Amino acid sequence: AGSRDLAGTRVIITAGGTREPIDPVRFIGNRSSGKQGVALAEAARDRGADVVLIGANLEVAPPVGVDFVPVSTVAELRDGVVSRSPDADIVVMAAAVSDYRPVTVATTKMKKDAEGDSFSIELTANPDILAELGQRQHPRPVLVGFAAETEADAGELIARGAGKAERKNADLIAVNRVDEGRGFGAADNEVTIVDRYGEVHARAAGSKREVADAILAAARGVRA
Ligand code: C5P
């Protein structure tokens, strides 16, 4: 604490969980609260960075002293990140991004009498924002993604994180175990920060703020 090691650094954090509309009142969403991303934004601010927080449906208030961009859908999140990333030194994709969205969005509320006892919603793949950022020409920002895993032992978690870093051309992946008391919605988190070679840059277990500081220190280390 107290270190201003990110002074003069421009950091973009995505946080929260996207919502893809089905009709005017319904959506496909996820259990991300935004707490880890908000903790990252606070930690980056306190380390002296200029912070843009792109927040999707946050359950917690955005911190003061950061540039807050509220979004809801993947398309909005993508626009927010891609338009700003050329100016960024570090991008941390903490948001839980929906992999799919409905092909069509009903313009009026869907009704049970019209749909009957069962019906299907056709989904189409969303763009992978982290992978898209990873494809950009150099110089590009240090890219940090997350991988939420519900099972697997420690070695398997590292392998999955390394595979994700390789596929998306990310510098670091913070693999976090999401189960009772950790991960989505919880106060605490546990992450292993790995690169594409499976090298472990840091491990952190504790408050989301402690985890945030470990992630930022690792990101800074990538091009230090
Ligand atoms: O592939 P998976 O969804 O597990 O990857 C998670 C990481 O990729 C997170 O950092 C998330 O923000 C990012 N992501 C993304 N665009 C998507 C899906 C995930 O940027 N469409």
Is the CB of residue 97 below 6 angstroms from any atom belonging to ligand 1? Answer: yes
As a whole number of angstroms, the distance between CA 170 and CA 163 comes to: 10
86 CA → ligand 1 middle, Å: 19
Give the per-residue pLDDT at 222.
95
d(CA 147, CA 155): 14
DSSP assignment string, 193-210:
EE-TT--EEEEEEEEHHH
User: Higher-confidence residue: 178 or 148?
Assistant: 148
Phi, psi (degrees; rounded to nearest 5) at 158? -65, -45
Q: Mean pLDDT across the stretch 185-189?
A: 79
pLDDT at 105: 96
Ligand 1 center from residue 55 Cα (angstroms): 15
Here the ipTM equals 0.96
Catalytic annotation, residues: 30
What value does the mean pLDDT take over residues 64-77? Answer: 98
Please give the distance, rounded to the nearest whole angstrom, from the Cα atom of residue 93 to the centre of ligand 1.
7
- Indicate whether residue 36 lines ligand 1 (CB < 6 A): no
CA-wise closest residue to 39 among 17, 61, 57? 61
Point out the ligand 1 atom lying closest to the alpha carbon of residue 133: 20
Nearest to 18 by CA among 80, 92, 98, 81: 98
pTM reported for the whole predicted model = 0.95
Backbone angles phi, psi at 14, to 5 degrees: -100, 145
Q: Does the beta carbon of 147 sit less than 6 angstroms from any atom of ligand 1?
A: yes
**Residue 178 · residue 149 · CB < 8 Å:** yes
Judged against a pLDDT cut of 70, whether residue 180 lies above it is answered with: no
Rounded to an integer, the average pLDDT of 158-186 is 88
Best of 32, 71, 130 for a ligand 1 pocket test (most atoms within 8 Å of beta carbon):
130
The whole-number pLDDT of residue 1 equals 53
Burial class of residue 136, CB neighbours in 10 A (0-12, 13-18, 19+): middle
Q: Is the CB of 171 under 6 A from ligand 1?
A: no
- Residue 148 confidence class, pLDDT cut points 50, 70, 90: confident
Tell whether ligand 1 has an atom less than 6 A from the beta carbon of residue 95.
yes
Note the pLDDT tens digit of each residue in 9-52. Answer: 999 999 999 999 999 999 999 999 999 999 999 999 999 999 99
Q: Tokens 């292993």: give the residue.
A: 192
**Nearest CA owner, ligand 1 atom 17:** 128
